[in-house]
Amino acid sequence: MATSNARPGMPNPKSVVAEISFTKPGAVGAEAAAAPQYRIIRTNEVDAYEAKPTKTAVAEAMVLEAKKKPKGDTFRGTSRKAAKLSVADAKTEKFSDLAEVINSFVPDKTMAKKKIPTDAKSNRVEEEKRNINVEAFIYAASVEDDNDFHLIIGRDPETGGAEVYMTMELSGLPPANAKSHAKLKAARDAFKKFFAKFFQNNLPGTSYDFYDPPIRIQVQGSTFFDASHAKGSKPGPQSLRAKMPTVWEVHPISKLKLLPPA
């Protein structure tokens, strides 16, 4: 199935498995014709360190995901669990552009030399004790086995600035008595409610969904260096990976507001 590459941030047409289109909820007649159009472009693209599924496998998975019971929201991973489920104790730094956020990070090569442990008890190192806030756009998303939603975030597609993307993650939830639980749950709930209202609950699956137009967001969260992938294959869908210059992330997202197209 082919799809248009009329703007930056679109998937490779050869990776597309399905396209799902939507209009403004409740719009009918002339209003529906003039309403914003949304499109989910489902692909077989995955993070580079995972086996790429065939298009048939993705299509079959879509059917199974529609039938199976939800697996809940609890975090199911172990790698750097302590850091991933915590919100940094720091003031929030506000940025006007995603590129500024990326440029503010300590270089990946410097961070890799720190050899940050990746066991479950590995907490934030000093360079990760930051919170950032920025308005940007979700270009693609998937969900991992640990129950984290991987959001691929980019700049405003209308500004004409250089393409640049990074990963921000909605963590699976910690225990209800955890200090961070309320914030992480509120952010995750905001994501799911947006998809219930505008995308008929078509949440991303294990391969990447791309969004056309990309979803405008206001996002806040703690910075996190993905030490597990500091060397070798990096995260991100194949179509955008070359323009993802860092393995720094915002992880977890602690506040999220999603805005429909104007």
What is the structure's pLDDT at 244?
96
Q: Is residue 82 part of a domain?
A: yes
Q: Give domain status of residue 3, yes or no.
A: no
d(CA 59, CA 11): 17
Name residues of the chain where pLDDT drops below 70.
1-5, 50-71, 160, 262
Number of structural domains found in the chain? 1
Torsion of CA 193, 197, 198, 199, to 10 degrees: 70
Tell me, what's the pLDDT at 182?
A: 98
| Per-residue pLDDT, 259 | 92
CATH number at residue 226: 2.40.50.140
2 found inside a domain: no
pLDDT at 54: 62
Identify the pLDDT of residue 158. 85
Within 8 A by CB and 6+ apart from 52, the residues are 44, 45, 46
Q: Closest Cα partner for 151 from 98, 112, 90?
A: 98
Backbone angles phi, psi at 64, to 5 degrees: -65, -40
Q: With respect to residue 1, please indicate whether it lies within any of the assigned structural domains.
A: no
Domain, as residue range, for 170? 13-259
Residue 53, domain member (yes or no): yes
Asked if the structure places residue 211 within a domain, the reply is: yes
| 4 occurs within a structural domain | no
201 vs 198: CA distance, rounded Å: 8
- The whole-angstrom distance between residue 23's C-alpha and the CA centroid of its chain comes to 23
Length of the chain, in residues: 262
Classify residue 8: in a domain, yes or no. no
pLDDT at 60: 57
Instruction: Return the pLDDT at 15.
Output: 95
Specify the long-range contacts of residues 109-114, CB closer than 8 Å, at least 24 apart.
Answer: 111/225, 111/227, 111/230, 111/248, 112/227, 112/230, 112/231, 114/227
Residues contacting 259, CB < 8 A, separation 6+: 215, 216, 217, 218
